Structure 1
Amino acid sequence: MALLASELIKLNNLQLAGKLVSDELMLGIHASKRSGSGTEFEQYRHYEPGDDPKRIDWKLYARTNKHLVRESATESNLHIRFLLDLSGSMNYEEEGISRLHYAKLIMASLAYLGYRQSDQMSLYTLHQGDLQTLVPVGKQSFQKILYALENAQASGPWLHANPAFPDFQQKQKELLVMVSDFLQVGDEWLQLIQHIAGPRREIVIFQLLGEQELDFRLSGFYRFHDLETGREVELQAEAVRASYQQAATEYLSKLDESLHLPHVHLIRVRLTDPVALVLKDFLTRRQF
């Protein structure tokens, strides 16, 4: 049974949460494509026709009566860049789960998978209109990414001013994983993606939305608070439900159409969705 985000958050330990999700994913996904006969031991798998018999762990066979092959990681040529939205709307919360908490779980889980596969990794944030490098690619990037995620806080609006992204101009193969609500005033997020998209850069956007943001089943009077500007407005939910639902449907449809670009994938996630199931579906389709 897949762990819910609320259960993972209670652990108060991103590394453990990421490992649990990663382990859950590895149960259904064979990730040995990047393994070889290097020097650093990584894992066991069952012997398959064509494998070198010398790689069978015969001592383990004596204990288990199973032919298990030792695998070790080889250096990956994939660079995974994690890009986290830290605008104030990431503090949105439903049923004790904030968008930011869920975003951290996604990134910690994918970082754990990347660590297991010896991928190069780095972490960036979008905050107050600037791209900030929290963890550059290098040694111990996995632990540094976890530490930076633990301490990341969201606040303020996304003041998009068409900034330059020199770190994203490399010509190596890379995967850019962006986690955001992707809610915009104009087309600032679309402009950003169009600016950094390219044939050697696969972009995956996890758009995190709450049940009420998608369905708006509230009843009665509410004071709505803008988490980025601080503006407040009191409304009767039933009076605005139909117009809200229509506007939300139109916005999401436009987003789907606008992001139907080569090498760009949009994955819409509800905060109630189990993290492992969200990632398993994505990774299975992508052959990560």
Structure 2
Amino acid sequence: MLETPVLLAHSADLELVIRHVLAGLGHGIHAGRERGAGVEFSEYRAYAPGDEWRRVDWKLLARADRYYVREAERDSHVATWLVLDASASMAEPSRRVDGLSKHWYARTALACVAAIAQRQGDAFGLLLLSGGRVEFTPASRGPRHLQRVLAALQRATPAGGLPDAETLRASLHFARSQSMVFAATDALDWPSPLGEALIRLRHMRHDVRMLALRTEAEVEANIAAGHAYRDPEADGGLHSFAREGREAYRAALESHFGAVRGACRQHDVPLCEARIEQPLGEVLRAWLRNPEARRP
């Protein structure tokens, strides 16, 4: 099967992309958490692609010759929050896959998380960080709300920088209730108000997961000598990559992401690092299920 970004980067239908990615996962990834005594059996329903195999009732399969999963009553106080870094640097494209960018990958990953939350019956909301502002979509449930969130993600355009600390803090009023927070960013602006906000939420005992995206060219410093680059989020002239400066660039980038990893580890924020050229289903599985994902 072709890698998801190669296959889907040119698709304008976000729902089609979501269906393809979730169907290809093979088994379930749950954004929400089922909690001990607060979770009681409710009913059976037919198995759907993406459901966890551990929830299949095998005895009922033997009797009915069909797959059914056990539905449970979940803690209604746990909501899922999606945070999209839509600053200008997220427009960085892949140099191998046409039509693919950090923004496309981050937006699509969060759309998949929203679809999973909707299927589970969880409440979910969205924070779009772009142009120094926050676009806030309150948490709710159901297919119509999923359409609202997908529409907001679809129209998001990378621009400007991240909001400042005060602007972002004012948007975290949802933190009064226990939540899961999934933030997709390139983490190039670090330390940053976004990083500080995620750490603050973790200290308030929210379950915070961060996805840090890079391009293959960034990770491998595989940028042609003489290529000109202008930082989209800072004033300044053109920077030209020289062959002899490639190792210095690689060392500086590794030092930067080493600091990101260290801060996340110190504050117990699971960090998933990925290249946007990786299959999206593979990265989703690591981000949503593993407390510490393998580095790219």
Change (3 A) 1:271 1:103: same
Please tell me whether the aligned partners of residues 172 and 200 of structure 1 are also in contact (alpha carbons under 8 angstroms): no
Please tell me whether the aligned partners of residues 4 and 21 of structure 2 are also in contact (alpha carbons under 8 angstroms): no
Q: TM-score, normalised by structure 1?
A: 0.82
Which residue number corresponds to residue 131 of structure 1? 134
* C-alpha deviation, 1:214, in angstroms: 1.6
Tell whether 2:236 aligns with 1:241: no
1:129-278, aligned counterparts within 5 Å?
Answer: 129-139=132-142, 140-163=144-167, 164-184=169-189, 187-229=192-234, 231-278=236-283
CA distance in 2, matches of 1:70, 1:260: 36
* C-alpha deviation, 1:5, in angstroms: 1.4
Please tell me whether the aligned partners of residues 42 and 71 of structure 1 are also in contact (alpha carbons under 8 angstroms): no
CA distance in 2, matches of 1:185, 1:30: 29
CA distance in 1, matches of 2:159, 2:102: 13
| Paired amino acid for 1:20 | H
Which residue number corresponds to residue 51 of structure 2? none
Change (3 A) 1:209 1:72: same
**Matched pairs, number:** 273
Which residue number corresponds to residue 105 of structure 2? 102
CA distance in 2, matches of 1:69, 1:185: 46
CA distance in 1, matches of 2:164, 2:200: 12
Please tell me whether the aligned partners of residues 215 and 275 of structure 2 are also in contact (alpha carbons under 8 angstroms): yes
Tell whether 2:34 aligns with 1:29: no
Mean alpha-carbon deviation: is it higher for 205-214 or for 124-133?
124-133
Which residue number corresponds to residue 58 of structure 2? 48
Change (3 A) 1:37 1:72: same
* C-alpha deviation, 1:108, in angstroms: 1.4
CA distance in 2, matches of 1:134, 1:243: 42
Change (3 A) 1:157 1:107: same
Which residue number corresponds to residue 115 of structure 2? 112
Q: TM-score, normalised by structure 2?
A: 0.80
1:83-98, aligned counterparts within 5 Å?
Answer: 83-94=83-94, 95-96=97-98, 97-98=100-101
| Paired amino acid for 2:103 | L
Deviations 1:164-193 (A, max 9, x none): 235445443211000111111654443232
* C-alpha deviation, 1:149, in angstroms: 0.9
Percent identity over paired residues = 19
Mean alpha-carbon deviation: is it higher for 149-158 or for 137-146?
137-146
Flag structure 1 segments of 5+ consecutive residues without an equivalent: none
Flag structure 2 segments of 5+ consecutive residues without an equivalent: 49-54, 292-296
Over the residues paired in the alignment, what is the CA RMSD in angstroms? 2.9
CA distance in 1, matches of 2:267, 2:235: 37
| Secondary structure in structure 1 of the residue aligned to 2:277 | coil
* C-alpha deviation, 1:42, in angstroms: 5.3
Q: Which of the pair is proportionally richer in strand?
A: 1
Show structure 1 runs of 4+ deviating over 6 A: 30-35
Please tell me whether the aligned partners of residues 184 and 211 of structure 2 are also in contact (alpha carbons under 8 angstroms): yes
CA distance in 2, matches of 1:9, 1:217: 21
